[in-house]
Structure 1
C-alpha cells in the first residue's frame, strides 16, 4: 500500500483531531506515494530506533513521542533531530506520530497498559468531553482479578512492564489491599484528583515529582506506583501494530509490522539505597 493509505489507516485508529491543541501528531517526513511494506513501531524517534529501521528495511516508523513537539526553524543534519530526519529520508523511511490522540483512543495507550497489568478496564479515568459514549479519554480505571496487597501489585507491575534502570517506586502501605486501579501511560500527576474521585486503591503512572506526590499522599488515598515513562507507554506498541495490520488487511493490503525492543528510556543506571521507612 502507499504511505498515504497507511497513514490514513493510522488516522482512522488515532484521529488527529482528538490530540491536544499543543501536540504535534501526524506525518513528519515521507513521500505519500511511496510504497509501505514494513512498519516499525517505537516510543521515541531517536537514533537507535532509526538505526533499527534502517537495518530491518522499514518503510515507515510510527512513534508515540513527537520529534518536534515545540516546533523548529531548522532540520539541519548538524542538529540531533535534524540528523534523524536526514537519515530517514536518505533511506526512504517515513515517520508518523500518534501521541495524545493515541492516549485518548479507545483502545489506546492506557488500555494497553491496563491489559499488561491484567486489569479489566471499566472506563476512562478522565473522560473526553466530546465523546458521548464515555469510552475515550486519558487514563483508565480497571479491576484486578482478585484483591492483592500493594506490594504484590507493585511486583505485578515490575513483571509486566519492560525493565528499566528506574524500576518501580511505591508510595503507600505495602500491605494495603488493592482491587480497584487507575493507570495512565506517561506523565500522569495531573490526574491525582481524578484518581481520588474515582475511589481507586492505587494509581499507577510515570514521572511523579516530589511535591505533587507528597501532597497527594498527604491528601489520602490512593496509593501511588511510579514506573518509567517509556515503560508505561511501550505496551501500546503491540496493540497499535496489531490494529494497523488488521486495518490494512481489511483494505486488502499486507504489511509486516515490528515492535522495537530497544530500550530508549534515557536512564541507564540505578544505584539502590536502603530506606528505614
Structure 2
C-alpha cells in the first residue's frame, strides 16, 4: 500500500469537503509513492507521538487534530511545529489529518463516543441538512436509565483514563435515560442539546458561563470530560477500517496528549 493509496481510502471515508471552512485537513507531509505497512493513529501529532511512530516503525501517522491548523510562516527546526515536521520527514513518516470531516462522518467521532458509553438508537444531534444521516454530535439512549451521579461514574469508567476528572452539572439524583454527546469541545451544541429534549449532554471543554446559562435556561444536565478522552475511542474505528480495507498493520496511540497532568484538591 502506497501513501497515495491510503490517502485515497481515507478521502473516500472522510472527504475533505466535509470539513469546516476554517479547518485544515488531509495530506500534510510525506512522499505519495512511499510504501506503508504500519500506521500509527493518534489524537494529536506531538513529539511523544512521533517518538512512538519511530519506535514502532510506522511509515504513516493519522491524527484527528491538525498539526498546522493555524497559519505558520516557517517550519524551521527552531520552531515547535518545524521540529516535528523535520523529524517526520527525516524518518520517512507521512502525516494525514481528519478533523471536522471526521466529526460529521457516519460513523465518526461522536458515534465512537456514543458506543463507548453504550448508547443505542443513535442519531445525529445536529444533522447535516444535505445528508441527515451525518452531522455533529449524536443522540442516543441508555439501555437502562440511571441517575446523573451514576451516569457520571459510568462515563468515567467507560472512557479512557486521564489526569482530568469527569464532572457533572445538574441534580445528581435526576434520571438520565437519553443522552447527547459530542466529541471534543462541545459548547457550540448546547442549544441543540437543549432543543433535543435529552436528559444529559456529555462533551468536553465546557466553560463556566455558557454552562451556567445553559442550566439556568432549563437545559439538560451536563457531563464534562477531557478533550482527549472524548476523541480517543474513534481511533479504534479508523484503525479497524484501515486494517480491513488497506491490509496495513495499525497501532493506536494511548499517549494522553492533554496538557493537564495533575489533579489536586477536593474532587467530591
Q: Which residue of 1 aligns with 2:217?
A: 219
Matches within 5 A, 1:113-124: 113-124=113-124
Equivalent-residue separation in structure 2 for 1:79 and 1:122 (angstroms):
43
CA-atom RMSD, angstroms? Answer: 0.9
Where does 1:78-93 land on structure 2 (aligned, <5 Å)? 78-93=78-93
Could you tell me which residue of structure 2 aligns to residue 251 of structure 1?
Answer: none
- Find the counterpart in structure 1 of residue 35 from structure 2: 35
Match of 1:197 in 2: 195
Q: Distance in 2 between the 1:241 and 1:26 partners?
A: 17
Give the aligned partner of residue 62 of structure 1. Answer: 62
Alignment length (residue pairs):
268
1: distance between equivalents of 2:119 and 2:253? 24
Gaps of 5+ in 1: 249-253
1:207 matches 2:205: yes
Q: Deviation per CA, 1:52-73, whole angstroms, max 9, x where unpaired?
A: 0000000100000000111211
Give the 5 Å matches for 1:72-151. Answer: 72-131=72-131, 134-151=132-149
* CA deviation map 1:198-246 (0-9, x unaligned): 1000000000000000000101130000000011000000011111222
Q: 1:258 is matched with which residue: 251, 261, 268? A: 251
TM-score (norm 2): 0.98
Superposed displacement of residue 192, structure 1: 0.9
Asked whether the 8 Å contact 1:38–1:59 carries over to 2, the reply is: yes
Distance 2:56 2:122 in 1: 38
Residue 274 (structure 1) shift: 5.7
The answer as to whether partners of 2:119 and 2:143 remain within 8 angstroms in 1 is: yes
Structure 2: runs of 5 or more not aligned: none
Shift of 1:129: 2.1
Report the equivalent of 2:265: 272
Cα distance in structure 2, aligned partners of 1:242 and 1:34: 22
Q: Which contiguous aligned blocks of 4+ residues in structure 1 show a shift greater than 2 angstroms?
A: none
- 8 Å CA contact 1:114–1:121 kept in 2: the answer is no
Output the TM-score relative to the length of structure 1.
Answer: 0.95
